[in-house]
Amino acid sequence: MAIDTSFSCPLLLSYAILSRKPILFKSFTAGLSVQEFDGIYKKEITKRYHDCEIKRLSKRKDGKRDTGAIGRPFKLGVKDRFLMLLVYYRLYMTYTLAGFLFDLDK
């Protein structure tokens, strides 16, 4: 009997899911409330992300692609990646568990 390896688990943790559970959100993010998370995200992350991404892409040395040409797109959006980072550091979990919870490839 063959094992089906195409199975993909649903996203177990995301901003949309966790923000509806404020007590868990605060516990998983080292004490940040949903409002505090949103404030940091809006004030810091959104302002800096675009500039940092352009800077990162322009540092390529190969010269084979244009600055705007990117490789494989991120599976998670910026907000969910920020949440994953906070949860990862707060819970000190393995990358394997983080991948399972956020439905990421190894």
Give the alpha-carbon dihedral of 38, 42, 44, 49, to 10 degrees.
120
- Per-residue pLDDT tens over the stretch 49-62: 888 877 777 776 66
Q: Is the pLDDT of residue 24 over 90?
A: yes
Q: Is the pLDDT of residue 22 over 60?
A: yes
Phi, psi of 58 (to 5 degrees): -80, -10
Q: Is the pLDDT of residue 66 over 70?
A: no
Q: Is the pLDDT of residue 4 over 60?
A: no
Residue 61: predicted pLDDT: 66
pLDDT (average), residues 76-84: 92
